[in-house]
C-alpha cells in the first residue's frame, strides 16, 4: 500500500517488500529506497524522511522542518518530535533513539547502544563508542560526550 493525501506531496518507493508508506501534509517528501521496510509514517509540512537501508521496523516523524535519516539496518525504533531537530542513526543494532525538544542534536555513530535519550533545548549528546547501555541528558545548554567503550549507566 502506498497512500498519499495533500497538495504538492511526493512519495517514491523504489524497492520491493514495503508493506505501507503513508504521507499526509503539504510539500512533504518521503523516499523509501530499500526493501523490507514495514512502515514509514510522516505527518507535517516541509518535512523530510529518508530511510535508505533495509530491516527498519518503524520510522516516525511529526513536526515542521525536521530531518530524520536512518542509514543502516536493524534499527528497531527511531522517533523524533519537535521543530528544527536533527537525529541521525548511522550504525546498526541500536534499539531505540529518542529525541524531543527544539534545536537538539543527537548523533549515535556506533553499534550496540541500547538507549540514547535526550530532552531539552540546545543540548548536544554524542555517543561515539559501542557497548554503552544508557546515555541520558536532560536540561539546557549541556554537553555530554561518551568516547569510551563498555560504559554502563551514564
Q: What is the pLDDT of residue 73?
A: 46
Tell me, yes or no, whether 73 lies in a domain: yes
Q: What is the pLDDT of residue 19?
A: 46
pLDDT digits (tens, 9 = 90+) for 101-151: 555 555 555 545 455 555 555 545 455 444 444 445 555 444 445 554 454
Tell me, yes or no, whether 154 lies in a domain: no
Contacts of 34 (CB under 8 A, 6+ apart): 15, 51, 52, 53, 54
Nearest-5° angle of CA 128, CA 129, CA 132? Answer: 115
Range of the domain at 86: 2-146
Taking residues 56-83, what's their average pLDDT? Answer: 52
Global pTM reads 0.16
pLDDT surpassing 50 at residue 24: yes
Q: Total domain count for the chain? A: 1
Beta-bridge mates of residue 51: 32, 70
Q: What is the pLDDT of residue 54?
A: 46
pLDDT surpassing 50 at residue 62: yes
Q: How far apart are the first and last CA of the chain?
A: 42
Tell me, yes or no, whether 153 lies in a domain: no
Q: Evaluate whether 28 touches 10 at the Cβ level (below 8 Å).
A: yes
Tell me, yes or no, whether 152 lies in a domain: no
Beta-bridge mates of residue 59: 40, 78
Please state, for a pLDDT cut of 90, what percent of the chain lies above it. Answer: 0
Which cell numbers in the block locate residue 31?
523516499
How far, in whole angstroms, is CA 144 from its chain's centroid? 19
Q: Strands of 96-102's sheet, edge to edge?
A: 2-5, 18-26, 37-45, 56-64, 77-83, 96-102, 115-121, 134-140
Q: Evaluate whether 121 touches 139 at the Cβ level (below 8 Å).
A: no
Tell me, yes or no, whether 151 lies in a domain: no
Which cell numbers in the block locate residue 55?
530491516
pLDDT surpassing 50 at residue 16: no
Q: pLDDT averaged over the chain?
A: 50
Tell me, yes or no, whether 126 lies in a domain: yes
Tell me, yes or no, whether 48 lies in a domain: yes
Tell me, yes or no, whether 75 lies in a domain: yes
Residue keyed to cell 533495509? 54
Which cell numbers in the block locate residue 25?
501534509
Taking residues 43-68, what's their average pLDDT? Answer: 51
Amino acid at each position: 500500500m502506498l497512500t498519499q493525501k495533500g497538495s504538492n506531496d511526493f512519495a517514491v518507493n523504489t524497492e520491493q517488500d514495503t508493506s505501507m508508506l503513508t504521507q499526509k501534509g503539504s510539500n512533504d517528501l518521503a523516499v523509501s529506497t530499500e526493501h523490507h521496510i514495514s512502515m514509514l509514517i510522516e505527518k507535517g509540512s516541509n518535512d523530510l524522511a529518508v530511510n535508505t537501508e533495509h530491516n527498519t521496523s518503524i520510522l516516525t516523524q511529526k513536526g515542521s522542518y525536521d530531518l530524520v535519516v536512518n542509514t543502516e539496518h536493524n534499527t528497531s525504533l527511531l522517533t523524533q518530535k519537535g521543530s528544527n531537530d536533527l537525529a541521525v542513526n548511522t550504525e546498526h543494532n541500536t534499539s531505540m533513539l529518542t529525541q524531543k525538544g527544539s534545536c537538539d542534536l543527537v548523533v549515535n555513530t556506533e553499534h550496540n547502544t541500547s538507549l540514547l535519550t535526550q530532552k531539552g533545548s540546545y543540548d548536544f549528546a554524542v555517543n561515539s563508542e559501542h557497548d554503552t547501555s544508557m546515555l541520558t541528558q536532560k536540561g539546557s545548554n549541556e554537553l555530554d560526550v561518551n568516547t569510551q567503550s563498555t560504559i554502563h549507566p551514564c
